[in-house]
Amino acid sequence: MKKDINIPVVKDVHVAVVNEFNKEHHTHDWNAYIINNKDVDLDTVLIVTKGYSQDKITPVMRHTIKMLPARSYAKIEYLQEDVLRLNNEFKVTFFDGNTMFDKTYLFRKNTINKKALQTLPLMQEKGVLVK
């Protein structure tokens, strides 16, 4: 029965987009990160991303992080400027011990911008955060 299924709530794991200076190309690029603000390591982190609007959709991208240590972060992908005009969805699945967690993080279209920057947990950067 549905009432017997325990769906654990994801806490202290975030997706953020940071505007960083690219030393190689001398540009400011938007990069997506996953932040593990938990006191435990995350095992087998699977991230599926896509951008979409009513009439456009990007190819689906899949990323795997074998282990994301406690209180750390990892880069997911670079986001082109054109993609910021779309809804950007990050479906994150991971294991904490023997329990599987799953959460969808959504950056609505045009919400990734310099006016929306805030202090990010663990990172020495400012960025746009979805909790």
Task: Give the type of residue at 111.
Answer: T
Flag the least confident range among 1-15, 60-74, 114-128.
Answer: 1-15
Taking the CA atoms of residue 37, residue 40, residue 46 and residue 48 in that order, the dihedral angle to the nearest 10 degrees is -20
CATH assignment of 2-109, among 2.60.40.10, 3.40.50.720, 1.10.8.60, 3.40.50.2300: 2.60.40.10
Domain ranges of the chain: 2-109
Are 30 and 51 within 8 A, CB to CB? no
The helix/strand/coil state of 125 is coil
Q: Residues 20, 78: contact at Cβ < 8 Å? A: no
pLDDT tens track for 15-59: 999 999 888 989 899 999 999 999 999 999 999 999 999 999 999
Alpha-carbon separation of residue 33 from 6, 18, 53 (angstroms): 28, 8, 22
Structure confidence by residue, pLDDT tens digits, 77-104: 999 999 999 999 999 999 998 999 999 9
